[in-house]
Chains A and B, each alone.
Chain A
Amino acid sequence: MSLAGHFSYWVTIFLMVAGLFILISRGNLIKKLVGLGIFQTSVYLLYIAPGKLIGGTAPILADNFTVYSNPLPHVLILTAIVVGVATLALGLALTVRIRETYGSIEEDEILAADLVDDAPAAEEKR
């Protein structure tokens, strides 16, 4: 298994693991979303890279071309990018609302505030 021949896969795996690591290790809600974005981006590469053949052209029938790249992964990933953008937008919107109500975007501070909420006295307010 040659390192250079699988270059795109190594990059994919690095991005995938890096994204997941950020997601798990960071308590800041924005940083988590950054990790999520990197994780999702790695999948775009996983789809697109194998679709490209070196020397291949767009799949248009013509006499002087015989090698074509597969266009389908591009279309699929276009959809996945839209989904990723929507997810990120919703995640950021939720973060804004969390900041407004809790006054913090650090996970441990928010969970600590929730523990105070759980006390019976605070229950009565709601």
Chain B
Amino acid sequence: MNLAAHLPAHLPALQVVLPLLAAPLAVLLRSGNAAFVLVTAVAWAAFAVSLGLWQQTGAGAVISYAIGSWPAPWGIELRVDRLSAFVLVLVSGMAAIVLPYCRQSIEREIPKEQHYLFYAMFALCLTGLLGITITGDAFNVFVFLEVSSLSTYVLIALGRDRRALMAAYQYLIMGTIGATFIVIGVGLLYLSTGTLNLADIGARLPQVSGSRPVLAALAFLTVGICLKLALFPLHQWLPSAYTYAPSAVSAFLAATATKVSVYVLLRFYFSVFGESLLFDRLPLPEIMLLLSLAAMFIASALAIFQDDLKRIFAYSSVAQIGYITLGLSFGSESGLTATVVHLFNHGLTKGALFMLAGILVIVAGGTSLSRLSGIGKAMPLASFGIVLGGLSLIGVPGTVGFVSKWYLVLAALEQGQWWLVMAIVASSLLAVVYVWRFVEIAWFREPRADLPKDRRIPLSLQIPAGLLVAATVYFGLDTSFTVGSAAAAAEQLLGMNQ
């Protein structure tokens, strides 16, 4: 049997199986270095697989992979289309970039004997996130969601501050409520349609559309998923979790975890329930619009008053999720394009920012703003990177943030909503304020006397962080990959139920 010839057909299974196998192997190896090599290699392999899948779905083809050769409505199906391929590239790509950074970063934050367990958890988290994105089965979504969530709680609890424990506990409670709500929603859908395959549910739902169990399912799924994606006001778990987690974990989670939840929301809304139920018969756009605006303004305003750099970025994440759901609330193709583009762009930006914050921690000993005074003079390169990332959060032309906001504004104009354009610009001004706070403290104050003399940063930390900062600029100038993929994904998503 020729292995190479069969490989392209089995890419969907490999996408999940590779990191899934890496996790127990990493535990068996019982050595931090060996586990690091294994999991990093697997993450890069997963990245290559996702690029292959992205290419295979390039012409709008939908890959359906029957696990164990059991055909789709009965067996579990893996399903890849433009949107899932794009999200897979983001998740596996971020894992591939963050992992080399992990080694030196956790060296300083986690006891040596726990390193191999860290990599095992990281591999499990990656498995869960990739699994959620690739599966075509509603119950499978829940199982993979819990695989990624449980490993995430452990990763957050590894933070060296004791408050990380409480952050992990609170996230566990909130996350489990969210996941249970999702199971309730899936259960009600199963009771109404008798199937668990997402595409099959979507096909059968019009017969029972608008019945009370279906509406209840929609409500449970919306609340459950919005808890996981930290839509305002369900975001309370996020700031502490991102602040006290180890730096590498913050970077990976901020770039991927909430983004995958947004993907789940899009999948359930547009592939299962269909936009005619959501946008013509229910006041869902209005609710989403209101919550998005609240996130954009209130979370940005809260970010201004935080005294810790990582906490500022965490609140800014909540605000940026507002932009993502704002695009969704339009229900139009251009709105969804903005959503999907911002999903990717914000992932890049926040990944870069949390990695750079992790570099500052090494020299400054913490990320509270009082410790960072004058850090711009002591560490010009890393601080400059943070400012570049901050410009992207604001949406300055030449960065990825501008691309997202441009498409968001276009979508708002298409709806004839001028006041929304003003709102987008006004909330960006709030971002200027919290980015400026960092600039003021980093450059216009004297460096602290207790900064260490030896400020060399290992290359394995500099290169991944630098790469992501470069990517936030590169994809801000050349948008053919991001906007092209997002537009195709939005078109396919809206075309599904017609």
A positions within 8 Å CB-CB of B: 20, 23, 29, 32, 36, 39-40, 43, 46-47, 50, 73, 76, 79-80, 83, 86-87, 90-91, 94-95, 97-98, 101-102, 110, 114, 117, 120, 123, 126
- The answer to whether B187 touches A46 (Cβ under 8 A) is yes
Q: How far is the CA of A91 from the CA of B168 in the complex (A)?
A: 9
Task: Known contacts A87-B146, A101-B162; decide if A32 and B184 are in contact (CB<8 Å).
Answer: no
B44 within 8 A of A: no
- The answer to whether A126 touches B161 (Cβ under 8 A) is yes
Q: How far is the CA of A110 from the CA of B368 in the complex (A)?
A: 21
Min Cβ gap A33→B in Å is 8
Partner among B153, B173, B179 whose Cβ is within 8 Å of the Cβ of A23: B173
Q: How far is the CA of A123 from the CA of B187 in the complex (A)?
A: 47
- The answer to whether B184 touches A126 (Cβ under 8 A) is no
- The answer to whether A90 touches B165 (Cβ under 8 A) is no
Min Cβ gap B314→A in Å is 16
15 cross-chain CB contacts under 8 A: A32-B173, A40-B180, A46-B187, A47-B190, A50-B191, A73-B190, A76-B139, A94-B153, A94-B169, A94-B172, A95-B169, A98-B166, A102-B166, A114-B163, A117-B163
Task: Known contacts A50-B191, A123-B366; decide if A87 and B166 are in contact (CB<8 Å).
Answer: no
B193 within 8 A of A: no
Q: How far is the CA of A101 from the CA of B371 in the complex (A)?
A: 25
- The answer to whether A39 touches B180 (Cβ under 8 A) is yes
Min Cβ gap B189→A in Å is 12
Known: A23-B173, A123-B368, A126-B160. 7 other contacts (CB 8 A): A36-B177, A43-B184, A47-B187, A83-B142, A98-B169, A102-B162, A110-B166
Min Cβ gap A25→B in Å is 13
Min Cβ gap A57→B in Å is 19
| In the complex, chain B residues whose CB is within 8 Å of the CB of A110 | 166
B positions within 8 Å CB-CB of A: 139, 142-143, 146, 150, 153-154, 157, 160-163, 165-166, 168-169, 172-173, 176-177, 179-180, 183-184, 187, 190-191, 196, 365-366, 368, 370-371
| In the complex, chain B residues whose CB is within 8 Å of the CB of A73 | 190
Task: Known contacts A43-B184, A83-B146, A101-B165; decide if A36 and B173 are in contact (CB<8 Å).
Answer: yes
| In the complex, chain A residues whose CB is within 8 Å of the CB of B371 | 123
Min Cβ gap A74→B in Å is 13
| In the complex, chain A residues whose CB is within 8 Å of the CB of B184 | 43, 46
Q: How far is the CA of A123 from the CA of B450 in the complex (A)?
A: 14
Partner among A20, A97, A126 whose Cβ is within 8 Å of the Cβ of B165: A97
Q: How far is the CA of A29 from the CA of B172 in the complex (A)?
A: 12
Partner among A29, A36, A87 whose Cβ is within 8 Å of the Cβ of B150: A87
